[in-house]
Chains A and B, each alone.
Chain A
Amino acid sequence: MSAALIQQLVDGLAALMLLTSFALLAQHRMLSVLNWFAAQGVLLAVTAAVVAYGTDNNELYISAVMTFLLKGLLLPWLLWRVIRELHVHREVEPLMNTTLTMLVALGVTLFAFHIIQPIEKISQLMTRDSMAIATACVLLGMLMMITRRKAITQVVGFLAVENSLFFAAIGSTNGMPLVVEIGIAFDVLIAALIFGLFFFQIRDTFDSLEVDAMNAHLIHGDDEE
């Protein structure tokens, strides 16, 4: 494959990455959120493999396989188990309606594009175009954490931010050293496990996974007693 084709492929994958970030924001049902999250993980693994092929970087192959196993299969499966056990299938209502969220998301994407433009000009890498998209995806993940009420969707937002950071790492430096990546992967795995335990604890304590319920309990809990 020629270098130009690989660059176009990376660009296409970056565009799909942006699409998955938007799709995550637009979903109402927990299951489709998880499906899109898994798709994002697989996409990330494919991107890593393509960049590995383009730059002859063998370590990236290993992290591609790791990404696929961890973010494409294991994390979605863990979260799926949690929502099955807790019977939360619908995000009842996000704080803003979907259309407004989408408009804000478009604005956020424009902003990311605007601030990355000067950096893009000085980069020589074949993946430089994807940096703006990686930044946009980080901000979109944060937006997801802000606009959702349920603890699980907020965690998915957090994991999406981590995905985009990994994508940014592939894009801006052709991947971090393997040791660092393995470390981060295990951190994310442990975090997901701890989140999973937390969900059960939160549900037991507050009878709900809505973050508002927790707030109300923590702030007004003492007055009611």
Chain B
Amino acid sequence: MSSAFVQMLQAVLLLLLAPLATGFVATCKARLQNRRGADVMQPWRNLRKLFGKEVVMAAHASWIFRTAPYVVFTATVMAASVGPALLVDTPLSLTADVIALVALLALARFFLALAGMDIGTAFGGMGASREMTFAALAEPAMLMSIFVLSLGAHSTNLTTMINHTLNSPFALHPSLAFAMVAMLMIAVAENGRIPIDNPGTHLELTMIHEAMILEYSGRHLALMEWAAMVKLMLFATLIADLFMPWGMTTDASLVGVAVAFALWIAKLAGLLLALAVIETSLAKLRLFEVPEYLSGAFVIAFLGLLSYYMLEVGA
């Protein structure tokens, strides 16, 4: 198989599997809470239903409100499709720079917040303001935790970083453990999962993500929700890429890709299951405690950076 084909394949897989991943988390959560719950295909059914519905729009919605779903969806899918998932060295791997990735996600978030404010409802503006406040704290922490890995690999390019991890001999790296904990905390926050935001909430006062997309309907809502699902998938893949890339294939042979695919699914399932357990066992934080949580993540990432210099450079 050519590497371009594998690149296409993994982008399509990310897109198609994203609703299944969200469904998997929901099912696991339901089982953990002694409910039967819907099966993993439910998010797909929801999306199909939403795509078939008519779009209802507020009278004073501007062009921003109409284009935002497309921008958000495209930016998220672009970020998801350039990142390596199966094959380490893809034709687009030069684009797979972590800073560019974070920038694409920031673009998506910017339009999401604009759309939330555009319609002029109180909840949209409130959600947008919260989202931006937390993003301002989460982004530096995320970059800081990725920089811990970049320091070792001397690059912020995902492919180079993965190659570095794959080629270095096994060793205990306290700095990577710190970086991974920080990254997991940020991933939970960025995807609006339970200690920070409740994806299943119907109470407007506690909403963050949902508050911004309250006014959307039909295919616009479907795109927004699908983008959120892809984002969850992207973070899970990113964590698997950065901290446990073992099994990713370096050549585009059929066997290599098949093994990488199986391992990728296993890693994703593990991470998503962990997410379901976390969501079941923790209560939602009070809104004013979220900055403390995020600055905690930043401090842990910074500790990773410090312990890299203190313990691993000279050794």
* A10-21 vs B, Cβ < 8 Å mask (1 yes, 0 no): 011011101100
With both beta carbons as reference points, the residue of chain B lying nearest to A26 in the complex is identified as B296
Contacting pair B296 A11 (CB below 8 A): no
B314 x A8 contact (CB < 8 A): no
Contact residues of B: prevailing secondary structure: helix
Q: Cβ of B78: which chain A residues have Cβ within 8 Å of it? A: none
Report the interface size for chain B: residues with CB under 8 A from the other chain.
22
Contact A19 B171 (CB under 8 A): no
Known interface pairs A9-B172, A16-B174, A99-B291; A129-B315 also in contact (CB < 8 Å) = yes
- CA gap between A14 and B178 in the complex, in Å: 13
Q: How far is the CA of A218 from the CA of B79 in the complex (A)?
A: 63
Question: Please, which residues of chain A bring their CB within 8 A of the CB of B295?
Answer: 98-99, 102
Query: For the complex, is B165 an interface residue (Cβ under 8 Å from A)?
Result: no
Residue of A with least CB distance to B313: A129
Minimum C-beta distance from B189 to chain A (A)? 16
Residues of B with C-beta under 8 A to A102: 295-296, 299
Q: Would A129 and B292 be within 8 Å (CB), given that A15-B178, A19-B303, A22-B303 are in contact? A: no
Give min CB distance, B195 to chain A, whole Å. Answer: 16
- Verify B172–A113 contact, CB threshold 8 A: no
* Contact of A133 with B by CB under 8 A: yes
**Is the beta-carbon distance between A11 and B174 smaller than 8 angstroms?**
yes
Contact A98/B292 with A8-B172, A18-B303, A120-B314 known, Cβ cut-off 8 Å: yes
B295 (CB) vs chain A CBs: closest residue: A99
Interface: B287 (CB within 8 A): no
A110 at interface (Cβ–Cβ under 8 A)?
A: yes
On whether the beta carbons of A133 and B303 are closer than 8 Å, the reply is no
Scan residues 283-315 of chain B and give those whose CB is less than 8 A from a CB of chain A: 291-292, 295-296, 299-300, 302-303, 306-307, 309-312, 314-315
Give 12 CB contacts A-B under 8 Å: A4-B171, A5-B172, A8-B172, A11-B174, A14-B174, A14-B310, A98-B292, A102-B296, A113-B306, A113-B309, A129-B315, A133-B307
